[in-house]
Chains A and B, each alone.
Chain A
């Protein structure tokens, strides 16, 4: 499904990813864990097609196609989905309008017919039940005035609606209380399928109590420094990331990378001029 080879990426001249190798097959759930600034979110954003990063080396194949050749919207239509760590509020764009445009864009790309409003709303209601979303939220603009938990549930709803082949969830567990966590996890579990792969990017092991990954990878200093089964997550829970930071080649570099990752993000925001 996804094959990442020797991926190097930088932002504003600072290298953030320093040779990622990762293979994800259909039906698998991978968890990518790591300390803040290790490059986890960068990896998620690059898979989704964010243009703020420069790919200096390496390849990403998605279903055999060169993913890096595709624009963000082309990737989404091809079946890549990113659940955002910080979903964006878009005043003036209604949720129903947004979801319908997205679903029909994806359906067109799959060669399916577009849904009219009635059929769309039927499907939407059905999927909303999955994440226990309040129907009144649909009357608002995209993410506008949503609580942190509502935003995350809304991401899962979008995933359920668009039925992507590859789901990348970027810290979907952050900022959730235990009830919201359970709802989000139930949604994710319901969407697990033999034809679908998932990558859960997370800082804490907490989400993995509810969603059992097949593989866990530790990302530190822009590299995957260890891979294992779900027991690796428990190990991280008891010992933290420190052993990996110290054990990885050049602990100083890891610190520097942490800083540059932060700078890259800030610069990206400043650069939009919005």
Chain B
């Protein structure tokens, strides 16, 4: 096995252009498990360890730009958590402190597990994914990037370098059901983002379909029912009906972690509660 340790993005992209089969290694919290169990036998590994820029983040006009190697622990930094509280809440649910110090947002996106905790929040935030190759840079909406369970639109010669998140002015909630009180894969999760300026409510579900599920019907149904001046919803039946509509968007399955019926039920409860906490 060859391990490439480029010290600049250009060199990394050149390696990928020359050897598009190389496996990209960021935090390694998914990858090393697969290697240890023989599920992956990469000939070439491209490590991002020396690409310090990818671990940085900055605010650019109305967007937060997160380098692909920003860790879950970094997302908990109050400076970032204030800008994207939902993402920080989701990051806190990932693994143990050791995993959160190592695992990255780019890794979570590239693994593209239906249970990935970043995915529903980024979907509700209307985040974009920035892909670079030696021939240029392109930006995809999250829904274009994640194409299926553990499948993405990244070409083999491309590197996910950043995530662009529009800053939303308003409360955000990420609620996740697992059978354990920490360090657990989501059985079902719901992200709700309120944008007071745009007067929108956006919601997405995790672990309830092959890709993160945006609840467009529920979103467009609820927006006119919000008292945007008071920034609240007075009628609790609206929260309940919002939960029902979000759950209708779910496409869950039965597996060893839970049942489709429970996942739909959990989406309804979580979406109702998330909205009630926001508005």
A binds B: no
